[in-house]
Structure formats: C-alpha cells, structure tokens
Amino acid sequence: MFKKKSKELVSQTGENAIANKETEGLSQGQIVRRRFVRHRAAMISLVSLIFMVLFVFTASGIHLGNETNPISFPGWWNWSITDIDPNLTVSPEGIVGAPTLDILPSFIDGTGMAIGAHPFGQDDIGLDYFALVMRGAQQSIVVMLIIGLIAAFIGTVVGAVTGYFRGWVDAVLMRFTDFIITIPAIIIGSVIGFQFGNLGVIFLATYLGLFSWTGLSRLVRGEFLSLREREFVDAARVAGANNARIVFKHILPNAVGVIIVSVTLLMSGAIITESALSYLGFGVVPPDVSLGLLISKYQDSFTTRPWLFWYPGMFIIAIALCINFIGDGLRDAFDPRQKRRITKKDRAEAKLAKARA
C-alpha cells in the first residue's frame, strides 16, 4: 500500500497546472462558491436541509408567544400537537395506532402508496405523531440556529480581540474563557428553570449558546495570532490602516473559513446537545415537545410500537447529517491547499487544449 506514490509525484506538476487553470481570474469568493457548488454531498445536503426546514415549518405552522396570548400561524397539517383523535388507527395486522404511511408502491407489497390519516402513527393517548415530530424538529432547528448565531458571534469577537490585541486583554479574556468552560450548562439551566419556570425553547437555546462559544474563541484566537504576524498585515499597518480596518478588511476575511466550518460543526453538535438535555429532563419540558423528549418518553415502547422511537431519531440524524456534510463542503471550499480530484476527463481536456495551442 505504500508503493503507488512515485507515479503520482511525477504527474503532480501537470495536475497543478490543471488545478490552477480553473482558478485563474477569479476572486476568492468566486473560487469558494465554485468549489462548494461542485462538492456533491454538500450540495445534496444543502438542498435537502432547505427542503426539510420548509417542510417542517410549514407543516405545523409557527407558534410564538405564551399560553395566554399565543401568536400562531397555522400550518397545512390538519392535526396539532394537542389534538386527540379518538378513532385510533388499526393496521391490517391489528396494531393500534400504527403509522398509515406506506411508501412502497403496489407492485411491491400490493397495497399501494398512501399517506393516510396518521402517517407517523399515534402515541398512546391518540395524539398525531406526525404533528409531534414536526413540532420537535422545528424546535431542534430553532435551537440549532440560535446556538450557532450566538456562539459564532461571541466566539469570534472574543477570539479576535484576544488574538489581535494580546497582552492583558488576552490574559483576562482567556481566563474568563477557562472559567466558562468549567461551568456546566445543566446547572445554569436548572437554576433558570427553578427561578423563572419554563421559559421555552428560545430561552433554552440562548443560554446554551452563551456557554458553547469557548472552543470557537480558542480557534479564532489561534488564527488571529498567526495572521497578525503576516506580511500583508504589516503592509496594511505601514500604509496607515487603523486597527478596525486591519481586523475587518485584512484578517477577518482570511479567518472566515475556519469560523464558518467550526460553526457548522458546532450547530450539528448543538442539535445533539439539545436533544440530550431534553432526554435528561433539563431541556425542553412538557407540554412542549422536542425530538429528544419524544425519544426519552417512548424508548421503552421500542419493541411494541417502534415507530414512536424511529421517527424522531431519524429526524435528528437527518438534520445533523446534512449540517455535517455542508460543513465538510465548506471546509474543502475554503481550504486553499485543497486540490480537487483530477479526473480522467480533466486530463484529457488539458491534453486537448495543449494540442490545440
């Protein structure tokens, strides 16, 4: 397995030429966009994530406000998370509350495709499970976005300030970061829960976001520490640029790749964290629903009514998987050293162009 490399080395100069040809005359942003669009897995994930978000949000509608004065935009799905359907569905095998969704066409299992009254089945008291899962997925996405935004903002600001100014600012802020690392978010959650009662998912996401920027700030700080020593920063300073200009115009655009990538990873982690906290009972609490809560509630009914367990899990995985792939695509797109795979077609085209010349 070690032998193959020598041949590759020989052809490397040729491949570099092919790869360089593609980026001629393009701005950094254009190169990144092109590379990202070409990353197949990332594009598929992006499209399916957008589809999933639209589907989930339109299905159950948007519900804001508290219980006394709710602000609701109803979705297209005809059951809400509190509607109980007294007529439980019964599958042909006699299982009560079974999913009516049938995606196999009739030439495979002979029954044909159908959505039915309750595509994801019903829970033990007759609530429509599709509505519950949609609502849970909605919560997860909201939590993910809020955590990502807050953590990205605080992490970047702290990292940039400490990395750029160094000295006592760095010392103080990094010790503050160490301090935040030691505090478990669960404790803060339970304090807030006790003092103010259940404040809903947005609040949960906000305080989780306030505790999840530490890793990002360390990363950004490292990036700034090394970028500020580079020649182009010196050049800008000599040319009379002030600190704000150097940070925003010269350093930040070079660090934005690292930031975006680690924020996407943070977001996929956040979705798992939220469901884990809800699973333990420290996150979203009933009567509100979240995917973690649904799994925790129905994990014992796995053998008898498996759909109560499968669907929420599937949605967590699908969302997190999409985010991860998008992050991977972005990482590849932002990495200047990353070379695209040179296919046989590329080689043939390069040869053809050479011959023509």
Under the rule (CB under 8 A), what is the footprint of other proteins? 1-6, 9, 41, 171, 175, 178-179, 181-184, 186-188, 190-191, 193-195, 268, 272, 275-276, 279-280, 282, 292, 295-296, 299, 302-303, 309, 312-313, 316-317, 319-321, 324-325, 328, 337, 341
How many Å apart are CA 25 and CA 252, to the nearest integer?
22
Residue 61 CB, nearest approach to other proteins (Å)? 26
**What contacts 167, CB < 8 A, 6 or more positions away?**
none
Whose tokens are 């070690």? That residue is 2
Amino acid at position 292, single letter:
G
Residue 39 CB, nearest approach to other proteins (Å)? 12
Q: Which of residues 142 and 319 has its CB atom nearest to other proteins in the complex? A: 319
Strand-pairing partners, residue 76, are none
Q: Which of residues 3 and 356 has its CB atom nearest to other proteins in the complex? A: 3
Query: CA Rg, the chain, in Å?
Result: 26
Q: Which of residues 69 and 182 has its CB atom nearest to other proteins in the complex? A: 182
How many Å apart are CA 245 and CA 98, to the nearest integer?
61
Q: What is the token pair recorded at 257?
A: 């790749």
Residue 6 CB, nearest approach to other proteins (Å)? 8
Whether the Cβ atoms of residue 170 and residue 158 lie closer than 8 Å to each other: no
Q: Which of residues 17 and 280 has its CB atom nearest to other proteins in the complex? A: 280
How many Å apart are CA 181 and CA 160, to the nearest integer?
18
Q: Which of residues 101 and 225 has its CB atom nearest to other proteins in the complex? A: 225
Q: Which of residues 111 and 299 has its CB atom nearest to other proteins in the complex? A: 299
Q: Which of residues 1 and 357 has its CB atom nearest to other proteins in the complex? A: 1
Residue 262 CB, nearest approach to other proteins (Å)? 13
Strand-pairing partners, residue 73, are 62
Q: Could you tell me the sign of the dihedral formed by the alpha carbons of 202, 131, 324, 261, in that order?
A: negative
Q: Which of residues 69 and 303 has its CB atom nearest to other proteins in the complex? A: 303
The residue count for the chain: 357
Q: How far apart are the first and last CA of the chain?
A: 38
Residue 68 CB, nearest approach to other proteins (Å)? 26
Residue 85 CB, nearest approach to other proteins (Å)? 26
Residue 340 CB, nearest approach to other proteins (Å)? 9
**What contacts 221, CB < 8 A, 6 or more positions away?**
158, 159, 160, 162, 163, 170, 174
How many Å apart are CA 119 and CA 117, to the nearest integer?
6
Residue 236 CB, nearest approach to other proteins (Å)? 24
Q: What is the token pair recorded at 45?
A: 């994930």
Amino acid at position 185, single letter:
A
